A and B are shown apart, each in its own frame.
Chain A
């Protein structure tokens, strides 16, 4: 359990953020300059907030009121930096073992061989970091952080490691796809403050967060499970709280949970059930909220069973169909728009 509350002024930028995370993978999401990296540095102990309190697994790491400030080297919080930050004067093996030295009392939680195998860096051990590729550097950096026996891992870069690791992760996300694929909790940040915290499917469907989350394509996240797969035409049937969704190119086995991101611009609306259309997914729902944008577009939030969908339509359509909260409506989603890129295992 991580509890963070921190305030700091950096020149003209004011950070004042609070959030809590319960294990698993927590994604800090927001535009660049929203304070994600500063917040992560504060958690690591590399940046000192003016006011605030940081608590990890019941231990207070920082408390401005009581003058507590555990130095970074004693927080046992691993940090995987964007550029890797491997020590150039040491070999890969020496880099990996660097943190072990100082954390022997804590005991090796994870074995050297296990990490090397997990990351596939066996062939790099004798090399120096200068000649490694970017991806290799990042994998070594992850291994180095893991071998220091951290209680929490801060990351600027994330791979599908979460099943193997039992360590909670807080990471700075650069893409909405990543959040959908990997995060258990999203913390949406803008202008140095936390706008929302919650599960991706709850947070990503909210219209009021759109200005904060910025320039990714709007869309809702739905938790589904694979019900059937038709080998003949490569169409997968996904079941969710509001019915069934047909998708293409899904890389999952029957019964597996899959998270789907339905982009708002791939959803069209109709007042009556359409007939003779190519669109395979026709879902019955109810309008929850209509938010008109500054330009031609309007975002419509729909309830489909227990799930939330977003539709981006023109303002003209809003007028023509008289879209308003409470209206019963049909949402249409092309199966082809739901593919490998918008789905992920949970």
Chain B
């Protein structure tokens, strides 16, 4: 009963693809935002902080609607993107990835920021006395030490991306094979008569996927945590 139909398999594959792209693309931006919030004082910092957290407190439908306005084919960002670069988000799977990235962004930044704030900045000073410039300090000391937060943030965002519904369906609609991700497929089955068994099956698969992601992130985070504490791999 747990063997999925090709249609269901399509939804699972699409969901994983969307979540993976959303995490990969938003990771560098999230690291930059977390670093700015953790380490720099600048005018408008509170504003940036609020902006980053907005998707966490807004109804997902609202986020999806704003994305539609901004990134739609005639939107102020979506229009030029299509005209100059041929990049289209609206009603494409890449748009679903964008929606997932935006919704997962605050989770990602929060985890990374916590990790960055926990770093002993005196280690960075030590690196400078050894000749490391700002970039070398960041990639040689700061980022490796923030790795547990980066991994946790990425995993949280990935899990959030797998489950994204409201913003996605508003922004890119429900197109089989293009934007019908796992949660949207479940929703669709609940709307058709006799679709309950399929909805249940997909829901169970969603549970397995989410638990898997959570477990993987836990193992990975624990291992890197040992590393940044300076403990040997064994013992």
Contacts and interface: CB of A to CB of B under 8 A. Distances in A.
Given A87-B123, A89-B144, A131-B232, A102 B136 contact: yes
Interface in B98-132: 120, 122-123, 125-132
B122 A85 contact: yes
B129 A44 contact: yes
Contacts of A86: 230
Nearest to A127: B232
Which size bracket describes the interface of B in this complex? Answer: 20 to 34
A344 interface: no
A50 interface: no
A77 B128 contact: no
Nearest to A77: B129
B141 interface: yes
Contacts of B230: 86, 88-89, 128-131
B145 interface: yes
Interface centre among B125, B130, B141, B227, by most chain A C-beta atoms within 10 angstroms, is B130
Contacts of B145: 88-89
B140 interface: yes
Given A130-B229, A131-B230, A73 B133 contact: yes
B144 to A, nearest CB: 5
Given A79-B126, A81-B122, A130 B232 contact: yes
B232 A102 contact: no
Q: Is the interface of B mostly helix, strand, loop or mixed?
A: helix
Contact of A46 (B129, B132, B136, B144): B129
Interface string A100-124: 0111000000000000000000000
Contacts, number: 87
Interface string B128-165: 11111100100011001101000000000000000000
A87 B141 contact: yes
A124 to B, nearest CB: 11
Contacts of A75: 129
A309 B140 CA distance: 53
A77 B41 CA distance: 29
Nearest to A103: B131
B231 interface: yes
A144 interface: yes
B228 interface: yes
A102 B129 contact: no
Interface string A137-155: 0000000110010000000
Given A85-B125, A102-B130, A102-B133, 12 more contacts: A45-B128, A72-B129, A73-B129, A73-B136, A78-B129, A88-B145, A89-B144, A99-B132, A130-B230, A145-B129, A148-B129, A148-B130
Interface of A: 44-46, 71-79, 81, 83, 85-89, 98-99, 101-103, 127-131, 144-145, 148
Interface of B: 120, 122-123, 125-133, 136, 140-141, 144-145, 147, 227-232
